[in-house]
Homo-oligomer: A and B are copies of this chain.
Amino acid sequence: MLLRTNTPSSRPVDGHLAALAGERVFCSEFRYRRGTEVFGEGEETEYVYQIIAGAVRTYKLLSDGRRQINSFHLPGDMFGLENGAVHRFTAEAVVETRVRITRRRSLLETMQGRESGASSFLGLVTRNLQHAENHMLLLGRKTALERVAAFLLELDERLGHPRILVLPMSRRDIADYLGLTLETVSRACSTLRGQKMLKFEGATQRQIVLLDRKGLAEYDA
């Protein structure tokens, strides 16, 4: 009855659409400096993006500035493709980011031509929904430590279990993704370090080595 609550890698679907990229559906390349807005909530959905290098955050704001980050997008991921005329959230480059861009229209036209088009679009939306469902459980019911552990495992999985996990985003970004404050995220990392579940590599707190993935996973479930 119960399944893993963490999010599986998003490679498959993106790979599907990447096949289209191989046919030069993504015509032009573009760079965004760190902190730059890619598109804003309410703007027209004119372009679709695929990340070559870097990272992007998408978020919603409340009127007083409270921010909720829906998702982080990493190299290979597509974003900005929505079934609607306007974007439902804002997208910003977390770090210096390179993307491939195509017009939404031309992507949809290419898709219509082939059997797999509509279904790969549906697959993308479904994958986003699945991620959102798991994230609602995290935001509604998990403790701070459980959230941070889940976050680290999610990123670890999406990056293919590298020896060193390089976080492109700040503690504040992580906090706004997990529904916490940056101080609480920092404390949770320190706690996990104290429990020998992770360590920092080099002279930065953005490079993390997961020493005990099993232990971290137990904070989930």
A68 x B137 contact (CB < 8 A): yes
- Chain A: number of interface residues, binned into ranges: 35 or more
Is A194 in contact with chain B by the CB < 8 A criterion?
A: no
A40 (CB) vs chain B CBs: closest residue: B1
Is A190 among interface residues, defined by CB-CB distance under 8 A? no
| Contact in complex: A139, B142 (CB < 8 Å) | no
Distance in Å: Cβ of A55 to nearest Cβ of chain B: 19
Q: For A5, what are the chain B residues with a Cβ–Cβ distance below 8 Å? A: 60, 62
Q: What 1/0 flags go to A121-152 for Cβ under 8 Å of B?
A: 11101101110111111011110000000000
Looking at the complex, which one of B61, B83, B89, B139 makes contact with A122 (CB distance below 8 Å)? B83
* Pairs of residues from A and B, 6 with the lowest C-beta to C-beta distance, nearest first: A140-B179, A132-B132, A139-B139, A68-B140, A68-B137, A66-B141
Q: Interface of A with B (CB < 8 Å)?
A: 1-3, 5, 40-42, 60-63, 66-68, 70, 82-84, 88-90, 118, 121-123, 125-126, 128-130, 132-137, 139-142, 176, 178-179, 221
